[in-house]
């Protein structure tokens, strides 16, 4: 999950130095996002609960704010990250698969 950035009025891409807390948040979200798909069979419903989705979505919003503050007005950040919601089929899936647990 990397934000898409455009550069206003710049003829080259500058090297971006971001603070460690921004890198840590990017890395954490990247790792967390890997667990969104069902690990046994990806087309099955995601095991993320709505609470888990809400936390992830909130952290994505926080990252975008941090990036905008760090990068300033010379950059436009285009947010293309899908906001997640609990899969409507999760409850039925868990009843049919009692060995699978939701990810709170």
- Compute the mean pLDDT over every residue in the chain, rounded to the nearest whole number: 87
Is it the case that residue 18 has pLDDT exceeding 70? yes
Helices (H), the chain: 20-33, 50-71, 90-96
Tell me the pLDDT band of 17, cut-offs 50, 70 and 90.
confident
Please state the rounded mean pLDDT for residues 8-18: 64
- Mean per-residue pLDDT, 72-86: 90
User: How far is residue 47's CA from residue 36's CA, in Å, rounded to a whole number?
Assistant: 7
* CB atoms inside a 10 Å sphere around CB 56: 20
Can you tell me the distance from the alpha carbon of 32 to that of 76, in angstroms, rounded to the nearest whole number? 25
Give the mean pLDDT of 38-52: 94
Share of the chain above pLDDT 70, in %: 86
Q: What is the pLDDT of residue 9?
A: 54
Residue spans per domain, the chain:
19-96
* Residue 103 token pair: 């990810």
d(CA 90, CA 37): 12
Higher pLDDT, 10 or 49: 49
Is residue 76 scored above 90 in pLDDT?
A: no
pLDDT of the residue at 8: 55
Q: Which residues pair with 77 in a beta bridge?
A: 5
């Amino acid at each position: 999950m990397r934000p898409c950035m455009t550069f206003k009025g710049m003829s080259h891409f500058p090297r971006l130095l971001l603070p460690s807390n921004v890198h840590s948040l990017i890395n954490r979200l990247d790792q967390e996002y890997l667990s969104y798909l069902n690990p046994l069979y990806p087309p099955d419903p995601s095991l993320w609960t709505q609470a888990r989705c809400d936390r992830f979505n909130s952290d994505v919003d926080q990252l975008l704010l941090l990036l905008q503050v760090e990068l300033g007005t010379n950059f436009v950040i285009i947010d293309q990250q899908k906001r997640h919601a609990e899969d409507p089929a999760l409850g039925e899936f868990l009843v049919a698969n009692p060995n699978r647990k939701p990810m709170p």
